[in-house]
Amino acid sequence: MHSVMLPPSLRVIERGWLNCNQVVMLAAGDNVLVDSGYCTHRERTLELLASPAGLDGEPLERLINTHCHSDHMGGNAAVVSEYGSRITIPAGEVKNVAPWTPQSVWMEEFDQRADPFHFDDTIDAGQSFEGGGFRWQAYAAPGHDMDALMFFEPVNRILISGDALWENAMGFVWPEEGANPLIDAARETLATIERLEPSAVIPGHGAPFVDAAGAIARVRDRLDAFARDPAKNARHVMKSMFVFALLDKRSMPLADVPGYVARVPYYRRVSERFLGVPPEGLAEWLVGDLLRSGAISVTGGVLRPNAIA
């Protein structure tokens, strides 16, 4: 285990699996934040941002998102109301957040939430921005989100990977029967990271790490397994979505799970398409599998997630 040495102008506020990490880049008069966390934890995010681990009371001029999923931009509105920061989003995400609808960030489909926000400008692959006294180059990072970007700083060789690469996994990739262009895109993103040879990776979730090659190899194995077995991928996505919802809600009565997976459109749709299981069977499988893997606990007939939010 190598510890990651980052320049003092970079601060990583490590969160959990409901909130993404916040990366603070300090330069007087031009402080930058990458990604804002989930909306229901907005107060905690603002508290951490203002703390010595973040801006330490300094202003925040700009907020940039790696991608516009609810755990990365859900806190954008709160950050702007506190700091008046300018918001920059990936150019490809504009269609997903403007106009803002109940289905923006998949909210209706997946039972997620985010506070509506207005962005000021966009950044696209091939463009760059100044942060913490360094120039960060934007690279396309499709796969988990086809419009996502990652940011690379070539002097220290630091990569902010968003959900394109974590130390032991990556953000889920939608299942498809047969050839899956989303998995192919994720593989291309890994190849891009391999070419960049980062000496440190700051992921969207989990601690920063130095062994990018090892992480890439682990994720390639997972993608290969998902490409061979789309139903396995579908089960993985459903489990990830459900744990995410539990982290948001904090708990759910066991008796409510069949009604929940019958009501939230995504579970029904994927279950019909990939698993052929009725809602009652789906709830039983979901809870059983998550209990076996240690992702959740049940006490007194109530489910709780074991991961940190």
- Give the interface with Zn ion as residue ranges (CB under 5 A): 20, 71, 163, 204
- Cβ proximity to Zn ion: between 62 and 69 the closer is 69
- Cβ proximity to Zn ion: between 245 and 287 the closer is 245
Q: How far is the CB of 19 from Zn ion (least distance, A)?
A: 9
Q: How far is the CB of 80 from Zn ion (least distance, A)?
A: 20
- Cβ proximity to Zn ion: between 65 and 88 the closer is 65
Query: What length is written for the chain?
Result: 309
What's the rounded Cα separation, in Å, for the pair 150 and 164?
8
What's the rounded Cα separation, in Å, for the pair 154 and 249?
40
Q: How far is the CB of 282 from Zn ion (least distance, A)?
A: 24
- Cβ proximity to Zn ion: between 77 and 170 the closer is 170
Q: How far is the CB of 265 from Zn ion (least distance, A)?
A: 21
- Cβ proximity to Zn ion: between 170 and 264 the closer is 170
Q: Which tokens is 105 given?
A: 């960030």
Q: How far is the CB of 74 from Zn ion (least distance, A)?
A: 10
- Cβ proximity to Zn ion: between 247 and 257 the closer is 247
Identity of the residue numbered 146: M
Q: Which tokens is 279 given?
A: 């809602």
Q: How far is the CB of 52 from Zn ion (least distance, A)?
A: 25
- Cβ proximity to Zn ion: between 117 and 134 the closer is 117
Q: Which of 252, 268, 309 is nearest to 70 (CA)?
A: 309
- Cβ proximity to Zn ion: between 134 and 151 the closer is 151
Q: How far is the CB of 66 from Zn ion (least distance, A)?
A: 8
What's the rounded Cα separation, in Å, for the pair 195 and 81?
39
Runs of H (alpha helix) within the chain? 42-50, 70-73, 76-83, 94-97, 107-110, 181-196, 212-228, 230-249, 257-263, 265-270, 279-292
For 80, other C-beta atoms within 10 Å of its C-beta total: 20
Q: Write out the DSSP string of 125-173.
A: TT-EEEETTEEEEEEE--SSSTT-EEEEETTTTEEEEETS--SS--S--
Determine how β-strand 62-64 pairs with β-strand 252-253. unpaired
Q: How far is the CB of 228 from Zn ion (least distance, A)?
A: 25
Task: Say which residue the tokens 């000496």 belong to.
Answer: 199
Determine how β-strand 149-153 pairs with β-strand 158-162. antiparallel
